[in-house]
Amino acid sequence: MRRFRRLAAAVVLVASLPAAGAPLTLLTEENPPFNYSEDGRLTGMVAELVVEALARAKVPYAIEVLPWTRAYARAQAERDTCLFATARLPAREKLFTWVGPLAANLWGTYGRGDFSGSVRTLADLRRLRIGGVASDAKVEYLRENGVTNIRVAPEDRLNPPLLSLPAGHPDRIDLWVTGYYGARAVARAAKATDIKLVFIVREIPLYLACNPQTSKAALTALAEAVDAMRADGLLERVAATYEKRLAR
């Protein structure tokens, strides 16, 4: 894993490798355990795999860490630009060219430790106020399933404190929809540790999502690299390493 970490930088990372197609701009967010900054470097389950795929494909690139909403908009607007880790949903299918899957995420809804409501199905969420992130796949999925009472924030870290606002406050939320693996780290960083998992929404595969005007040569080389990483067991080994780390 140390080899991967040396390849990554927290805000901007530039590689000078022989190109398979045009240089790429890679955009990501702070979303542990898939991609996040640690000791001034970018790491994470998907970040490591993306960097390895780029190295194997010999594609030059730069990585930027941005709030998700900005990164998502840029990936749609700018050629030779890719976004990770991105959930592949029907509404997004034609917006990007997809490479992967690289990993899988679980989506969950979290409430305060004293939350006493009963949530057994997606339909049960319709009567509650849900906090999420703008342009996020989890929010899109809930809306597609009739859950529309959603308050969106530009960054996930802004949501946990809203669970503890007084009743009647216009920004208060009943539940927060987020990634299962990173929820507690995000809550701790926001100084909101009294949370509990209320409901698992779904399991979703995560991809590298590229602007349709991305170099075909680069995309082909990346897809072949990911296939090789799957075949030689690297995807499974990296996932197992992070799952063991999260279990501690």
Composition of the chain by helix, strand, coil, percent to 5: 35, 30, 35
Please check whether residues 190 and 234 belong to one and the same domain.
no
CA geometry: angle 51, 55, 60, nearest 5 deg:
90
Same structural domain, 48 and 168: no
Least confident range of 31-45, 54-68, 95-109: 31-45
Residue 55: CB partners within 8 Å, gap ≥ 6? 7, 15, 17
Q: What is the pLDDT of residues 157-206, one digit of tens each?
A: 999 999 999 989 999 999 999 998 889 889 999 999 899 999 999 999 99
| Same domain as 184, residue 230 | no
Number of Cβ atoms within 10 Å of the Cβ of 91? 11
Are 192 and 125 in the same domain?
Answer: yes
The number of domains in the chain is: 2
Q: What phi and psi values does residue 143 have, to the nearest 5 degrees?
A: -65, -40
How confident is the model over 22-41, as a mean pLDDT? 91
Question: Do 86 and 121 share a domain, yes or no?
Answer: no
The band of 9, judged by pLDDT with boundaries at 50, 70 and 90, is very low
Of all residues in the chain, what percent carry a pLDDT higher than 70?
90
Domain co-membership, 11 together with 70:
yes
- The domain of 172 spans 106-203
CATH of the domain at 77: 3.40.190.10
Q: pTM here?
A: 0.72
Q: How far is CA 218 from the centre of its chain?
A: 22
Question: What are the pLDDT digits (tens) for 117-139?
Answer: 999 999 999 999 999 999 899 99
Judge if 96 and 215 occupy the same domain.
Answer: yes
198 and 214 share one domain: no
Q: Please check whether residues 89 and 126 belong to one and the same domain.
A: no
